[in-house]
């Protein structure tokens, strides 16, 4: 299957393009088929009426009141699968982020089944360090939307790029907060699967102190999900970000909470050094390095910075290639990192690096 607009090729099970939301066509379709499909699936084809009134669409809902409850203020983001708006509850004036599913995907049964599943999981994730789903709704005319708290702040990726690296004490603070949110999710048998700096928001409290919030649990799933849920991932949606995927995720193996711990450890390393712990000229080389190579020591990534050896041991354990050699819980990882950063802790005796990396 391929997209008639951007040309991206997908597996045969895919139906819609994740880049622009268009319906995919089979390889070999004629140019006439392509043109016909483009006209049929484009969400931006608008025919103005004679009164020249502003036409409202999924991509242009500012000023509308959704379901008589959510007043749409402005669009704050969009992608191939959804549009995100800032809105406020007309009765309480509380601010929310409203994610509206694109019209093409809202008609896809697999996409809808996945969204309902995610919403059911996300509603249970009420925690200060997690942006959870408040509710899922559908209007009479078939517009599907998800309501979440509106989280305002700076994306961790932007903070990293601006400063180059973060101080150890700040990194430990953020990691502790992220771990607290993940722990709640993991106890509910939910894993994130796409932890990365772009999915962490750094917010400010009233007094000016900062805290981290885990965003976008849209890839979350129950650990005990059966084969039916696995089929729902075959809709052209890439699950996870290659730079931060665990080895078992790269191999397509079953996942549990330890895959999130691996991704969080990579993020911790990047916060401290400004770089990832593996090298490669291409995305493929980076993935192979994670499957075969040991992480680069902290002192080589930031020469002149005297990291406690115990901090490096904690990170190396969190990045162990085998999930069995990693921390079992996010709480344990955060606690060991705190102790190591304070100069008084390291992994229990006997867990030497050779064992951790399978030598």
Query: Any catalytic annotation for residue 194?
Result: yes
Compute and round to an integer the Cα radius of gyration of the chain.
Answer: 22
Distance CA 335, CA 245 (A): 23
Catalytic residue, candidates 29, 89, 108, 194: 194
Distance CA 4, CA 36 (A): 10
CB 262 within 8 A of CB 246: yes
Joined tokens for residue 69: 């409850």
Distance CA 202, CA 263 (A): 18
CB 177 within 8 A of CB 196: no
Residue with tokens 């360090």: 129
Quick one: how far is CA 88 from the chain centroid? 24
Task: Tell me how far CA of residue 263 lies from CA of 26, 191, 304, 330, in angstroms.
Answer: 36, 11, 26, 11
Q: Write the DSSP string, 229-284.
A: HHHTT-SS---S-GGG--HHHHTT----HHHHHHHHHHHHHHHHHSS-SS--SSHH
CB 134 within 8 A of CB 148: yes
Task: Tell me how far CA of residue 201 lies from CA of 211, 240, 340, in angstroms.
Answer: 8, 18, 25
Quick one: how far is CA 262 from the chain centroid? 14
Distance CA 44, CA 29 (A): 23
**Residue numbers annotated as active site:** 194
């Amino acid at each position: 299957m391929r997209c008639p607009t951007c040309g991206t090729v997908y597996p045969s099970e895919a139906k819609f393009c994740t880049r622009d939301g268009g319906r995919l066509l089979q390889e070999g379709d004629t140019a006439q088929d392509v043109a016909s499909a483009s006209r049929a699936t484009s969400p931006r084809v608008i025919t103005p009426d004679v009164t020249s009134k502003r036409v409202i669409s999924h991509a242009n809902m500012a000023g509308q009141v959704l379901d008589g409850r959510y007043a749409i203020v402005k669009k704050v983001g969009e992608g191939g699968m959804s549009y995100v708006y800032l809105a406020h509850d007309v009765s309480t004036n509380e601010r929310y982020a409203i994610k509206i599913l694109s019209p093409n995907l809202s008609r896809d049964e697999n996409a809808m089944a996945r969204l309902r599943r995610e919403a059911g999981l996300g509603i249970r994730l009420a925690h200060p360090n997690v942006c959870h789903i408040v509710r899922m709704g559908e209007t009479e005319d078939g517009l599907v939307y998800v309501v979440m708290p509106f989280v305002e702040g700076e994306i961790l990726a932007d903070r990293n790029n601006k400063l180059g690296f973060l101080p150890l004490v700040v990194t430990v603070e953020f990691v502790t907060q992220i771990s607290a949110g993940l722990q709640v999710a993991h106890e509910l048998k939910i894993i994130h699967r796409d932890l990365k700096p772009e999915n962490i928001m750094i917010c400010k409290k009233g007094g000016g102190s900062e805290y981290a919030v885990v965003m976008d649990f849209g890839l979350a799933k129950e650990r005990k999900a059966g084969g039916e849920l696995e089929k729902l991932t075959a809709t052209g949606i890439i699950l996870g970000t290659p730079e931060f995927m665990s080895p078992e995720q790269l191999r397509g193996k079953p996942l549990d909470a330890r895959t999130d711990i691996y991704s969080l450890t990579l993020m911790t390393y990047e916060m401290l050094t400004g770089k990832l712990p593996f090298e490669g000229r291409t995305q493929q080389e980076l993935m192979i390095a994670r499957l075969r190579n040991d992480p680069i020591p902290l002192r080589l990534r930031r020469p002149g910075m005297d990291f406690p050896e115990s901090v490096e041991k904690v990170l190396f354990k969190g990045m162990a290639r085998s999930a069995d050699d990693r921390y079992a819980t996010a709480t344990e990882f955060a606690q060991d990192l705190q102790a190591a950063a304070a100069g008084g802790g390291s992994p229990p005796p006997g867990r030497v690096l050779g064992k951790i990396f399978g030598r």
